[in-house]
């Protein structure tokens, strides 16, 4: 029975010293005495130095020859899961270094870049990450711990999770079009005019392996995607007359299965369009592959869903009218989303009802601008990305966020409503070319700018106190 009932006792952090003396652990860090409970120290994880102290501290007080101020911050992190505000005056490098010493960096990462603290309506532009050289970013990749990879020209720059440190390395590609994180230290890269997918070690910049479609002599990479188990690559032959999606094992990079091998027949435009986007749909264990072809008479495309196990196509959506400019999948809200090339509107399709004659539903204001006659392509260069329970769509220099408002009713129906991110005052920015999400961050690149923008929810406090 707990010694006292009532208010929140999340963990058994209280104890009677006389009855259960070993339940308090005394530490001497750099001459300052700290006392805490073994439960708090075990939160550090089994590999941590602190966890080992819980068992060995019978008798003398263990002494750790480190800075006590930094330790008290990390102890608060262990106790509450959040960083105290006095940590803000410190250089984050000090804390990272100290956390690495105690082997609790993962706690620091989750306190700073926790994906569950991602609230789309609270994001604000917090950081600019400059990249060197004359090339502007051609591809961005993010990891769920918040680290960022950027390709610019033939170079790749990697920013670590704290966005305080970076490394750049040179690749053999002339330019990189597809970039993907496989683990915090391994990336996959490909180019639409160069052969093979390169698996790269981020720390050293050295290639680990090159994945090729071995059928034709030379094949380019149109898209890369990954699931927790597999790596997908969309290859096209250099003559642009055949293409396929190859599935690799994510650990061994062994080719497993080929999907949708197509050969171009005759002069028909719609045949043999390679996939330029590969999204894993984890709720249905399906691979979404989309590709489009833009010709003088308009744009045609197709969205296909593949079952990896059987290698069969589950559904195909042909796009003839108002073909997509970009497509994405959001598992959290069971939707396939596209932004129309001509209309610029955002459309949704229910993932659960694909096979049937499901149609695109416009999320916009309801006015259909599908055939706007003037031939203007409202959605050109728009990117669409699903993250959390929202869908983000770049439009010119702005990012729109579509969030679902649940209206209750019989079927718990929701309606989608739009917000434009950022403040109205900011004008005269260049167009957004890349958009991605990782951890609690939104990362974007703009046309002809040698920098990456990072948007974060800055803690909880948005109030600008006048006297500070």
Partner 1 sequence: MSNSLDNRLNPFETLISEQPANNNRPLKLNVGGQLFETTPSTLQRGGPDSLLFSLSTILTSPIFIDRDPQIFSLLLSLLRTGRLPSLSLQFSKEELLEEAQYYGIEALLKKAMAPPPLQGFDMSRVAVIWPENSGFQTKKGSFRAVFATSGDGSLWVAHDGQITGYDSMLSHSGTFRTHIDRISSLSRISPLTCGIGSEETPGLHFYQLLGGQFLGSVNWVDPSDPRIFKASVTAIDSSETNVFASFECRHRENCILSVDQSSLKVVSEIGRQGGSSAKAMAAMKLRFLKEFGALMVVSVTSGAFGHSGYVRLWDLRSGGVVWEWIEPGSGRSGRFGDTMADVDADEVLGAMFKVCSKSGDIAMADLRNLGSGDPWIYLEESNPSLKNSGGGHGSLIHCYNEQVFCSKESGLEAWCKIPGTEHLERETVPERLLERETLPEKAFRRNFVERESRGVITGIECGGERLFLSREGSEEIQVWETRRSSGSFLA
- Residues near partner 1 (CB under 8 A): 3-9, 13-19, 23-24, 26-27, 33-37, 39-40, 72, 75-76, 79-80, 82, 84-86, 119, 121-124, 398, 401, 403, 405-408, 415, 417, 419-424, 459-467
CB of 137 to partner 1, least distance (A): 24
Residues 430, 447 contacting (CB under 8 angstroms): yes
- 3-state SS assignment for residue 85: helix
CB closer to partner 1 out of 84 and 115: 84
Token pair, residue 204, equals: 């050293």
CB closer to partner 1 out of 225 and 388: 388
Antiparallel, parallel or unpaired: β 25-29 and 63-64: parallel
**Residue with the two structure tokens 């106190």:** 465
The whole-angstrom separation of Cα 258 and Cα 15 is 61
Region of residue 161 (phi > 0: left; psi between -120 and 50: alpha; otherwise: beta): alpha
- 3-state SS assignment for residue 116: helix
**Residue with the two structure tokens 């951890």:** 439
Residues 233, 248 contacting (CB under 8 angstroms): yes
Distances (CA, A) of 390 to 116, 332, 403: 13, 9, 5
How is residue 195 annotated by DSSP? B
CB closer to partner 1 out of 6 and 295: 6
The whole-angstrom separation of Cα 372 and Cα 364 is 15
CB closer to partner 1 out of 36 and 328: 36
CB of 85 to partner 1, least distance (A): 4
CB of 144 to partner 1, least distance (A): 23
The whole-angstrom separation of Cα 368 and Cα 345 is 9
CB of 47 to partner 1, least distance (A): 22
CB closer to partner 1 out of 373 and 466: 466
CB closer to partner 1 out of 79 and 313: 79
CB closer to partner 1 out of 84 and 207: 84
Residues 304, 275 contacting (CB under 8 angstroms): yes
- 3-state SS assignment for residue 108: helix
CB closer to partner 1 out of 35 and 271: 35
Q: For residue 73, which phi and psi values (nearest 5 degrees)?
A: -70, -45
CB of 418 to partner 1, least distance (A): 8
- 3-state SS assignment for residue 50: helix
CB of 347 to partner 1, least distance (A): 19
The whole-angstrom separation of Cα 381 and Cα 339 is 10
Pick from 157, 47, 55: nearest CA to 106:
47
CB of 66 to partner 1, least distance (A): 16
CB of 302 to partner 1, least distance (A): 33
Residues 438, 417 contacting (CB under 8 angstroms): no
CB closer to partner 1 out of 371 and 407: 407
CB of 322 to partner 1, least distance (A): 23
CB closer to partner 1 out of 373 and 409: 409
CB of 53 to partner 1, least distance (A): 14
- 3-state SS assignment for residue 273: coil
Token pair, residue 465, equals: 């106190």
């Amino acid at each position: 029975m707990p010694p006292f009932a009532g208010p929140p006792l999340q963990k058994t952090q209280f104890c009677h010293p006389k009855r259960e003396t070993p339940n308090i652990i005394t530490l001497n860090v750099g001459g300052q005495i700290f006392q805490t409970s073994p439960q708090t120290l075990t939160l550090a994880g089994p590999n941590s130095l602190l966890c080992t102290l819980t068992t060995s501290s019978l008798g003398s007080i263990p002494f750790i020859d480190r800075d006590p101020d930094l330790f008290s911050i990390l102890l608060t992190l262990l106790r509450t899961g959040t960083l105290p505000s006095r940590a803000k005056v410190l250089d984050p490098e000090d804390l990272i270094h100290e956390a690495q010493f105690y082997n609790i960096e993962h706690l620091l990462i989750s306190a700073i870049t926790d994906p569950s603290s991602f609230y789309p309506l609270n994001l604000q532009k917090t950081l600019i990450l400059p990249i060197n050289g004359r090339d502007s970013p051609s591809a961005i990749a993010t990891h769920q711990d918040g680290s960022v990879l950027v390709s610019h020209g033939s170079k790749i720059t990697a920013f670590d999770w704290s966005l305080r440190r970076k490394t750049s390395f040179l690749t053999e590609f002339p330019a990189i079009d597809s970039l993907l994180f496989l683990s915090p230290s391994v990336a996959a890269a490909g180019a639409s005019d160069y052969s093979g997918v390169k698996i790269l070690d981020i720390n050293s910049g050295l290639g680990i392996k090159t994945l090729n479609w071995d059928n034709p002599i030379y094949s380019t990479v149109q898209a890369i995607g990954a699931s927790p188990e597999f790596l997908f690559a969309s290859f096209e032959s250099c003559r642009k007359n055949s293409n396929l999606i190859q599935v690799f094992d994510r650990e061994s990079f062994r080719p497993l299965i080929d999907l949708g091998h197509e050969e171009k027949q005759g002069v028909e435009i719609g045949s043999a369009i390679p996939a330029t986007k590969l999204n894993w749909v984890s709720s249905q264990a399906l691979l979404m592959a989309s590709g489009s072809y833009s010709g003088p008479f308009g744009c045609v495309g197709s969205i296909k869903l593949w079952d990896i196990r059987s290698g069969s196509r589950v559904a195909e959506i042909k796009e003839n009218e108002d073909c997509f400019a970009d497509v994405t999948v959001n598992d959290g809200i069971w939707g396939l989303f596209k932004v129309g090339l001509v209309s610029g509107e955002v459309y949704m399709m229910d993932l659960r009802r694909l096979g049937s004659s499901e149609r695109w539903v416009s999320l916009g204001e309801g006015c259909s601008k599908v055939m706007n006659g003037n031939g203007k392509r409202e959605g050109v260069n728009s990117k669409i990305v699903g993250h959390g329970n929202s869908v983000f769509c770049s439009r010119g220099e702005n990012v729109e966020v579509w969030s679902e408002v649940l209206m209750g009713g019989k079927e718990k129906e929701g309606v989608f409503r739009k917000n434009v991110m950022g403040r109205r005052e900011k004008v005269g920015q260049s167009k957004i070319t890349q958009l991605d999400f990782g951890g609690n961050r939104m990362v974007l690149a703009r046309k002809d700018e040698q920098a990456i923008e990072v948007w974060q929810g800055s803690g909880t406090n948005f109030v600008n106190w006048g006297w500070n």
